[in-house]
Amino acid sequence: MRFSNQRKFSFSSIGILVGLIFFFNALRLETFSYSGI
């Protein structure tokens, strides 16, 4: 078994999770700005 592959998968999954969190935060900020107007 290669540990490098597992490490790569874990890093990619963490990156995807962080990207989703930032994406949802951006959407939330946009909705708040639109509602504020």
Please tell me the distance from the alpha carbon of residue 19 to that of residue 14, in angstroms, as a whole number: 9
Task: Please indicate, yes or no, whether the overall pTM of this predicted structure exceeds 0.75.
Answer: no
Position 18 scores a pLDDT of 94
* pLDDT at 35 (0 to 100): 67
What is the pLDDT at residue 6? 74
| Residue 16: per-residue pLDDT | 93
What residue type is assigned to position 7 of the chain?
Answer: R
Under DSSP, the state recorded for 2 is -
pLDDT tens over the chain, length 37 residues: 566 677 777 888 999 999 999 999 988 888 777 666 5
